[in-house]
Structure 1
Amino acid sequence: MGTDVGSVAAPQATRREWLGLAVLALPTMLIAMDLTVLHLALPTLTADLRPGNTELLWIVDVYGFLIAGFLIPVGAIGDRIGRRRLLLIGAVAFAVASALSAFAVDPTMLIASRALLGIAGSTLMPSTLSLIRIMFQDPRQQGAAIGAWTGFFALGMVIGPLVGGTFLEWFWWGSVFLIGVPVMILLIILGPILLPEYRDRSVARPDAVSTILSVLGMLTLIFGLKRVAADGLTLESSAGIVIGLALGALFVSRQRKLRQPLVDLALFRNGMFVTALGMLLLATSLNAGAQFLVLQYLQLVRGLSPIQAGLWSLPITVGVTIGAMAGPALAQRMKLSTLLCGGMVVSGLGMVVLARVDGPSDLYLAVGGTAVIGLGIGPMISLGTGLIVQAAPPERAGAAAAMASTGSELGSALGIAAIGSVAFAVYRGDLSDRLPPGLPAPVGEAAKDTLAAAVDVARTLSAADETRLLAVARDAFVNGLQTIAIAGAVLAALLAVAAATLMRNAQMPGAPAGPETDGAPKPLEKADD
């Protein structure tokens, strides 16, 4: 395959490249599915492994945190050792981690295997899009290929809850992880046949100390915040927050001294870059947190089966997909700041609708409100990377694109962690004050961990006690959902003001850049295919 990007006529992709695109679309769809597929498995997972509320949140969001934490250094590793080689190594690791997650015997093992799954996932995302840019040199074909790649990512988010619900209807909770094993095996077999190799040995090795500081700092800080939400400000939670902030400060200090830092701090001197990145992170946090809680509502408050909950979740994912697809077209017809401001207003209205959910009978409000939230946030999700890259100088476009992808993944993980922690804190405090009298002490303590634990332990009680416990537990969960929705409406209003004022000079971005750490594609180094 030719790679002379300086030629007058770019080489046309052949059947091999288009078949290779189909192979690359599979892990892309799977990564998107894994962001949401676990949510529907939480009730049965909780009944089997009995995690506490903090453990449950780590099970859900450690995957997203480690994808975000390793995206940038892994991209540089791929440049040095070969993007195809990194993709195949990641595929093996992803398959192994999926199997370990499926057969986890306790919460600690599941958290560890989900962490490995996140690290493996971080090797797949930059590798797939980078290889697409190498395989498709013609601008029109490259645009079509990237559009197809984006479509498969969106499809994975849409079908994730439905596929997960279907598997849970017939199999145990671990089956949702085994979905990825045959996909990775297919990638391992077909990858060497259909995909080219790409490497650039001139790229410096990523700084290992910086990687460790950034990941440990982020995880330690989040641990401290989770403990505050669960138990209040204790010595343990305070130590986590202080250590996390200290590691973050050391990370920033180290970046200033390195000739080739892991994160280019010069980008943060650009006000538009900071504004766009911050809005993307907060918008994805709102969307992910709302979806996480509403998927719990569908099964644990409304009492739907996994497959029913999967079907009812379709409007939620369709809402954000329509918003994301409509964003670029609307940006051609109106001022960008007006579009993004309007989107945040729409999301705020969705939060107001969600705040009106008062119990199991408000199914339409829960699903409709969350769909409206996603609809409003969609334009920021689809245009965010382009805005961030456009705000950066041309020579830093690759680093800006990597930061955009990291911000999006980190935003989703933070949304689940922060919003989930606050909602569980409200649930725990409210239920502690309203537990029905006469319940055995172990039952009450178990019920205060999570709503899923309350539903599970209620089955061991008499019919009357089960009804009383479920009524107050579900009401406490709804109170947490309402609290989050009100706070989300306020945050959406602040983001709308930020879009209208701080982004008033923003222009329509060009084609979004991929989550890579390099800039324009370099010629392929000769490699064995």
Structure 2
Amino acid sequence: MDTSTDKDVPARAGRREWFGLVVLALPTLLLSVDMSVLFLAVPHLTQDLQASSTQLLWIADIYGFMLAGFLVTMGTLGDRIGRRKLLLIGGGLFGIASLLAAFSTSAEMLIAARALLGVSGATLAPSTMALISNMFKNPKERGTAIAVWSSCFMFGGVLGPVIGGFMLSWFWWGSVFLLAVPVMVLLLIAGPSLLPEYRDPDAGRLDLPSVGLSLLAIIPFIYGVKAFARDGLSAAAVVTVLVGVIVGVLFVRRQRHLDDPLFDLGLLKIRVYRSVVLLGLLVGVMMSGTLLLINLQLQLVEGLSTRATGFWLVPGVIATFAAISVTPKLGSAFRPAYVMAAGLLVTAAGCVVLSQVPSTDGLTMIVIALILINAGLAPLVALGYNMILGAAPPEKAGSASALSEANGEFGLAAGIAILGSIGTAVYQSRLSLPAGLPADAAAAARENIATAMEAARQVGGSTADDLITSAREAFTSGLNVVGLIGAVLFTAFAVLTVHWLRQVPPTQDSEPEAKADTAEAAA
């Protein structure tokens, strides 16, 4: 018998909350834009700042390292000092760091500015997600708010190259960093009146040794994985990954013995939370590597410019918007696990299309694959975040959000390393070098398609044409293999989703299943 009453139904959000969502969505969009816009500016800033190859690597990577390293700390800090307070502090620092990056006069200054951008950026994602859980108590409305938030995050990655290309056509390279300044000014002005404040009333002190251990676990691990993706299996990559793993074990052991841990491991005892986080990691690994290869296919095989590549990614983003817009309604009509699993099967179908892309005139099939892949992932993103926030205790929302965001960084690094390596291995095995190719050009061509294209430009003539054709066919073969792997794995992920989450009922106005699951974990 249903014993629920109107008192069990959380109050619906008002106009203030929906306007506040706009304030939260803009920094999220900007954070995603900032991740992708730098790569367009690299040729320009290299010449202006006289940056070495090592400095360029740090300019590109330091942002991600700091962002990933501080996510867990910032998520917990927001729960303790106030989520709105941390968001406003981080927004102000992000704006200052953006100005420093835009007007950097040396490579060292830009590296420092990018590091500060990463640290301040780590305050934005967990704070915005946690505040959404405070502002939208009604699960259906929270699902809609999360759909808006996740749409902005996804759209920013595609919008970055488009806006960046436009800015660089008219202004200097530093202008791409100035995009953040007006958004952060808006946040600082409107945030205090539109966003509520929330902190855990029983929060303890921040354990500084745990902060250090988390940084020494996350940053070396991601650095090692990226080094493996860039340089292959090397002593440096292996050592740094092992350091990260060992320190990570020490971090977990310390959290188990603290009264006020930096990250409450009890969250992982909550079945729904644990399952969604693991699914997010698995899907993130597959998607990051797949999207990397698709971007390279568009630019190096189809011959598109960076800006044109960004434009051709837009249909996939539109498909994401469309799918996310209907996901909350589907989640209230059917069990979320089945909606998410159906989406993952659509993504698997997109990967099947990807496995059939030809090395010439394959643009149409790539766009179709992207539409299917992106639309299929939308239910997992929208419903998954809603499950995370619904399952976690309100006072732990920042920590819960932070781990899911850190998961994305791990998946990004691991996916590029794993699938990038698979694509490279297939490329090298399928590459057929034309007769008469000089030894140094042949060695360069065997590395990857980018170096093969450069070698072809230096050689010239019919030999260059044969090399380019072979390199494109070999790279496309790698993309096809990754597509097949994705089709199999996304089908498996759909099965796991139903197996792990089928007990979660359709989204209602209240969340008895999430509360029961949380109580079970606490017991």
TM-score when scaled to structure 2?
0.78
In the TM superposition, what are the counterparts of 1:469-508 in structure 2 within 5 Å? 469-508=467-506
Match of 1:516 in 2: none
Q: Return the alpha-carbon distance in structure 2 between the equivalents of residues 200 and 395 of structure 1.
A: 5
Match of 1:127 in 2: 127
Shift of 1:128: 3.7
Q: Would the aligned equivalents of 1:272 and 1:503 in 2 still touch at CA under 8 Å?
A: yes
Match of 1:259 in 2: 259
Shift of 1:359: 1.3
Shift of 1:266: 2.4
Match of 1:244 in 2: 244
Summarize deviations over 1:282-305 as a string: whole Å, max 9, x none.
Answer: 223333332232222222221123
Shift of 1:329: 1.9
Shift of 1:258: 1.2
Match of 2:215 in 1: 215
In the TM superposition, what are the counterparts of 1:34-49 in structure 2 within 5 Å? 34-38=34-38
Q: Return the alpha-carbon distance in structure 2 between the equivalents of residues 323 and 456 of structure 1.
A: 40
SS at match of 2:358: coil
Alignment length (residue pairs): 503
Q: Return the alpha-carbon distance in structure 1 between the equivalents of residues 46 and 453 of structure 2.
A: 10
Unmatched tracts of structure 2, length 5 or more: 1-6, 512-523
Q: Would the aligned equivalents of 1:64 and 1:413 in 2 still touch at CA under 8 Å?
A: no
Q: Return the alpha-carbon distance in structure 2 between the equivalents of residues 507 and 64 of structure 1.
A: 36
Q: Return the alpha-carbon distance in structure 2 between the equivalents of residues 293 and 339 of structure 1.
A: 28
SS at match of 1:359: coil
Shift of 1:75: 3.0
Q: Return the alpha-carbon distance in structure 2 between the equivalents of residues 9 and 313 of structure 1.
A: 39
Q: Return the alpha-carbon distance in structure 1 between the equivalents of residues 309 and 500 of structure 2.
A: 39
SS at match of 1:313: helix
Deviates more, 1:237-246 or 1:75-84: 75-84
Shift of 1:417: 4.6
SS at match of 2:388: helix
Match of 2:309 in 1: 309
Q: Return the alpha-carbon distance in structure 1 between the equivalents of residues 139 and 211 of structure 2.
A: 34
Q: Return the alpha-carbon distance in structure 2 between the equivalents of residues 141 and 237 of structure 1.
A: 45
Q: Return the alpha-carbon distance in structure 1 between the equivalents of residues 489 and 139 of structure 2.
A: 39
Shift of 1:310: 1.9
Is 1:467 aligned with 2:465?
yes
Q: Would the aligned equivalents of 1:102 and 1:175 in 2 still touch at CA under 8 Å?
A: yes
Match of 2:321 in 1: 321
Q: Return the alpha-carbon distance in structure 2 between the equivalents of residues 55 and 430 of structure 1.
A: 34
Match of 2:361 in 1: 361
> Which amino acid is the alignment partner of residue 475 of structure 1?
E
Q: Would the aligned equivalents of 2:30 and 2:156 in 1 still touch at CA under 8 Å?
A: yes
Q: Would the aligned equivalents of 2:78 and 2:199 in 1 still touch at CA under 8 Å?
A: yes
Summarize deviations over 1:146-184 as a string: whole Å, max 9, x none.
Answer: 665555445535534432343355566665444324433
Q: Return the alpha-carbon distance in structure 2 between the equivalents of residues 322 and 479 of structure 1.
A: 31
Match of 1:204 in 2: 204
Q: Return the alpha-carbon distance in structure 2 between the equivalents of residues 351 and 512 of structure 1.
A: 37
SS at match of 1:260: coil
SS at match of 1:339: helix
Q: Return the alpha-carbon distance in structure 2 between the equivalents of residues 337 and 194 of structure 1.
A: 34
Q: Return the alpha-carbon distance in structure 2 between the equivalents of residues 453 and 294 of structure 1.
A: 18
Match of 2:516 in 1: none
Shift of 1:192: 6.3
Q: Return the alpha-carbon distance in structure 2 between the equivalents of residues 79 and 369 of structure 1.
A: 40
Match of 1:285 in 2: 285
Would you tell me which structure has more helix in proportion to its own residues?
2
SS at match of 1:304: coil
In the TM superposition, what are the counterparts of 1:63-78 in structure 2 within 5 Å? 63-64=63-64, 66-78=66-78
Deviates more, 1:367-376 or 1:477-486: 477-486
What's the C-alpha RMSD, in Å, of the aligned pairs?
4.4
Q: Return the alpha-carbon distance in structure 1 between the equivalents of residues 442 and 105 of structure 2.
A: 24
SS at match of 1:159: helix
Match of 1:351 in 2: 351
Q: Would the aligned equivalents of 2:82 and 2:199 in 1 still touch at CA under 8 Å?
A: yes
Q: Return the alpha-carbon distance in structure 2 between the equivalents of residues 328 and 142 of structure 1.
A: 9
Q: Would the aligned equivalents of 2:150 and 2:381 in 1 still touch at CA under 8 Å?
A: no
Q: Would the aligned equivalents of 2:228 and 2:417 in 1 still touch at CA under 8 Å?
A: no
Q: Would the aligned equivalents of 1:98 and 1:117 in 2 still touch at CA under 8 Å?
A: yes
